[in-house]
Structure 1
Amino acid sequence: MVSSGRPVPIVVGVGDIKNRSLKIEDAIEPMQLMLQAIRQAIQDTNLPSSSALSLQSSIDSVSVVNTWTWVYPDLPGLISRELGVEPKYKVLSHHGGDSPAKLFDEAARGISMGEYRVALVTGGEALASLGACAAAGKMPPPGWTKPDESGKGISLSDVSRFGENLGTRHSVGLPIHVYPLYENAFRAHRRQSIQENNRESAELYADFAKVAEKNPLAWNYGQPAATQEVIGTVSKKNRMICFPYPLLMNAFNNINLAGACILTSTDYARELGIPTDRWIYPLGGAGTSDSGNFWERPNYYSSPAISRSLDEGLKSSGLTKEQIDIYDFYSCFPIVPKLACQHLGLPMTKQSKPITLLGGLTSFGGAGNNYSFHAITEMVRELRKGKARNGLVLANGGMVTYQYVVCLSNKPRDSPYPESNPLPDLLEDEEVPEVEEKAEGEVVIETYTVEFNRDGSPLRGHIIGRLKNGHRVLANEGDEATLVQLASGVKEQVGRKGFVRNGEDGRNLFVFHKFEKL
């Protein structure tokens, strides 16, 4: 055991709640789902009721993953009042899937530094219930907390919410656009064929679906897992969203899920009498982000933020990748676990070690910002079984933007918990091409995607290219013939040459033939 005199942080209780009903009268708001998960986490400590009450009353840190579903006036404060506590530390995260791991690491660090005695981390969504209410043209049932301002959650399909910028000018910037840009570049960089890439992604997600099929918390639990053939084949039920990802390779967010985690020190756990078989040790964490503007990235076949977070997350935890027994890689789209596997030298499919404990954001459910919270709670349960010693969770957010890694173990560190995240909030030491907002001339496609209509016809092309001077340019297709070629799904488009010019509406337009003189 560590003898530095500093407290040793441990997880002593975890809880997860799923409200599967889509009936309007059964709709439960996110905060109430979180409170249910918190009570379950307290019960998970196996303390008698009197000691459990002491644990709850000792909560002096409340961290909440921001929810997409509902805009609360002060969610950490509301939860604190419901629990009857007055924490000295309250925080609501930014919107990003990295938040659960970041808050978890910060909570463990706060325990270790003696800043607080008991830390609560929680998060939840009720997007399925909210969607059911919207479809019925009804408001949620009486009793939901009065929303702050408009009461609207985060719009998941409106690119204009990002404000006026180079991306929105070209109608690009949503997750459904940006992750495919990475997949296409990653495929070309690895010299895969389009068909090979599709088979790989379908196999990866079919394996994930099998995990979700057996996970009681998964939104698809109890339903037969989608097969590789079904996932990889475009059909009416599996329409193409943005090439190369059909629907079943996209995150599914219409879920009602919440999770909670209770952390304290080994000393206080002993004082309360929490059994040692409940104890799981956070070992360390690290996280950073790439540019928030996806057009200002070094390339589209790697993520420096993923690579650096993995490396420093392991290093800060005192582990090597060989010592990790189980992983959970964020998986909103196949490219994220692929980038993690590539960096760690793991195979893309048929891994010898699990790379998902939940089953992915398509089959388990996207859970808004909160997916990786459920990965952390599931990791705790798996490590308690004793078959695996060390686990790693990679949480991803934004548009392959925010990354955070945490490592957990059923054995303590041999040194005090790290005093800080070793990485900066933003990576600024990577070389990034200059971007020309208004471009003209010959261009080589660096990456691309095509957005499709519901009827399967191509709607719009999104091209990122390089001019002869090496500068980067964003563009849309300039004519129907170019869109048809981009959407064909047969020939590799990355590396092809074309021409770009700036149109009257400010957008750059790309074609494979030279523009005719007006």
Structure 2
Amino acid sequence: MAPSETPIVIGVGDIKNRSTAIKDAKEPAVLIHEAILAAIKDAAPTDQSKLQSAIDIPGLLAEKLGVKPKHAYYSEHGGDKPGKLFDEAAKRIARGECKVAVVAGGEALASLSACAKAKKLPPSGWTTPSEPVNSVFKPTNRDLGSNIGAIHDIGAPIHVYPLYENAFRAHRGQSLKANHEESAKLYAKFSKIAENNKYAWNQGKHDDEHIIGTITKDNRMICSPYPLLMNAFNTVNLAASCILTTTTFARTLSIPESKWIYPLAGAGTSDSTHFWHRPNFHTSPSISRSLSAALELANLTPSDIDLFDIYSCFPIVPKIAAHYLGLPITGYGAKPLTVLGGLTSFGGAGNNYSMHALTEMTRAIRKGRGKRGLVLGNGGWMTYQYVVVLSKEPRGDGRYPERNPLPREITDVAAPEIAVGEEAVGEVVVETYTVEFNRDGSPLRGHIVARLKSNGKRVLANHGDESTLRQMAGATAEIVGRSGWVRQDSERRGRGVFMFEKSSKM
């Protein structure tokens, strides 16, 4: 028998407000409240009021539920946060600091976008925001700041993840065509899973690999090699909730053991928030270390895991995770890398997707689809990771791990020195790249990360002439590993420009 303060999941709930009509708009707090009530119903306690009164949850939601929490916490933004909060809740329960914890989140960007289009911000009836709301977040309009990335107009997720995909492809010796087909097959499999998930934003719709992989007006290229259907779909109205308690309190509430799912461990860390300070673009130390630490804490190996949900804002995240775990990405014998259907087909706005993965993983293990599941949440620019392991059976060695063994940020990996200004001039070798496209399908801007042949220092640059941009956008020849030249832009201080042919200005 597990120790009395062993944390277990007893209830999970998901809510989808599929309507984008302004009259149906519900704020995230309302969606989250509905998800918590659904989780309470799922737990099916003999005394609902006894469970509800023991819940720890923040401000507005505590008022809606009529509870006074001991501990209340709103997280920062980030796709890793559901796992991090879930792990912290399990730790608090194991330490005896709380009897019941609710981990919940929700997003209503679909309704917000509809209200913004109708010029009705903030939406009527929603909680008054602490600051004026005049627009809705889009991946393409985030402030890039004023650092070296901003000088080169690079820094949004749509820019950075493609850098990794192109480098990972080249590192494996894969052709551009084979890489594109691999991504399309992977996301087609995800789409098929989402098609049959009643909580998926795109439930009932299946995009096959031809639809996902073919560039059209409706599936335009965003940043190579990713067309729209290989990008996360942000405009959803979704919420999810997990209720955790102790085995002792679950028995007090007469919750059947068939409902119990055991968290085994959680761990996470991050890489540098500045992508140009990372060791390379074909691995992720934060992904590999988070996976290794969580599995080690759970006393498991990758082969012990039956079910996975790997965050998939872009194909590269599940690819790098699968590669590290020794799992095939696609093809015969490949375990599905999601139970939900991924951020394109299930839908996810970059923060709460993995909460839905935790609820779906709980249901999948309850139904006997597997004994153990692993959820990896990713945030930022391939930056923040958190891994949680769940099981039908309790830990064999007693208590839930008391701490995350990993540092907040990985600082012990060597990264190339950055050359800036007049130092960032000379012959280079392309380390990775991407091309950003206009809405009409024409290439807008090339983004290059390269290494100076003279000293190995890393430089950032944009394309320096139309010939270079056309070659980068051509999608027929490998650009990684090619030589070229970087000079400083005479019109924009600090900006490097890259050309395959040496400029007369050098």
Which TM-score bucket, shorter chain as reference?
over 0.9
Aligned twin of 1:417: 400
* Aligned partners of 2:142 and 2:156 also within 8 Å: no
Please list, as runs of the form range in 1=range in 2, the aligned pairs for 1:174-193 lying within 5 A after superposition.
Answer: 174-193=156-175
Q: Does the aligned pair in 1 maintain the 2:109–2:136 contact within 8 Å? A: no
Find the residue that maps to 2:73 and give its secondary structure: strand
For 1:21, the aligned partner's letter is S
The RMSD of aligned alpha carbons is: 1.3
Give 1:375's aligned residue.
Answer: 357
Paired amino acid for 1:53: S
User: Contact conserved, 1:256 with 1:367, CA < 8 A, in 2?
Assistant: no
Residue identity (%): 60
> What's the counterpart of residue 478 of structure 1?
464
Aligned amino acid, residue 17 of structure 1: I
Q: Which residue of 1 aligns with 2:147?
A: 165
Counterpart for residue 425 of structure 2: 440
Distance 1:122 1:511 in 2: 49
Preserved CA contact (<8 Å) 1:57 1:85: yes
Instruction: State how far apart, in whole Å, the 1-side matches of 2:348 and 2:469 are.
Output: 31
Structure 1 stretch displaced more, 155-164 or 196-205: 155-164
| Alignment partner, residue 299 of structure 2 | 318
Aligned to 1:71: none
Matched, 1:508 2:496: yes
Judge conservation of contact 2:144–2:156 (CA < 8 Å) in 1. no
Per-residue CA distance 1:263-288 (angstroms, 9 max, x = gap): 00001111121111111100001100
Does structure 2 conserve the Cα–Cα contact (< 8 Å) formed by 1:80 and 1:87?
yes
Gaps of 5+ in 1: 63-75
Q: Deviations over 1:246-304 (max 9, x none)?
A: 11111001110000111000011111211111111000011000000011111000101
Distance 1:391 1:233 in 2: 33
Is contact 2:350–2:379 with CA below 8 Å preserved after alignment?
A: no
Per-residue displacement from partner, 1:75-127 (whole Å, max 9, x unpaired)?
x3111122122212111112110000110011001100111111111000111
Deviation at 1:190, TM superposition (A): 0.3
Measured after TM superposition, the shift of residue 159 of structure 1 is 5.7
1:8 alignment partner in structure 2: 6
- For residues 381 and 300 of structure 2, what CA distance do their matches in structure 1 show? 28
Aligned-pair CA distance for 1:318? 1.6
C-alpha contact 2:112 2:136 (8 A) present in aligned 1? no
* Alignment partner, residue 217 of structure 1: 199
CA distance in 2, matches of 1:102, 1:200: 31
- Unpaired runs of 5+ residues, structure 2, are none
What amino acid is aligned across from residue 210 of structure 1 in structure 2?
A: K
1:342 alignment counterpart: 323
Aligned residue identity for 2:340: L
Instruction: Report the equivalent of 1:235.
Output: 216
Match of 2:261 in 1: 280
> Which residue in 1 is equivalent to 2:442?
457
C-alpha distance in 2, partners of 1:511/1:142? Answer: 52
1:355-405 CA distance string (max 9 Å, x none): 110111111001330001100000000111124110000111100000010
- TM-score, with structure 1 as normaliser: 0.94
In the aligned structure 2, how far is the partner of 1:2 from the partner of 1:237?
53
Partner AA of 1:26 in structure 2? D
1:345 shift after superposition = 0.7
Tell me the residue number matched to 2:476: 490
SS at match of 2:255: coil
Counterparts of 1:461 and 1:347, CA distance in 2: 31
Corresponding residue for 1:102? 84
Alignment of 1:235-314 (within 5 A): 235-314=216-295
CA distance in 2, matches of 1:116, 1:374: 23
1:122 aligned counterpart, secondary structure: strand
Contact 2:313 2:350 (C-alpha < 8 Å) held by counterparts: no
SS in structure 1 opposite 2:374? strand
1:469-502 CA-partner distances (Å, limit 9, x unpaired): 0100011011111111111111100001111112
1:34-68 deviation digits (Å, cap 9, x = unpaired): 000000111111124xx1111111113x3xxxxxx
Paired residue secondary structure (1:92): coil
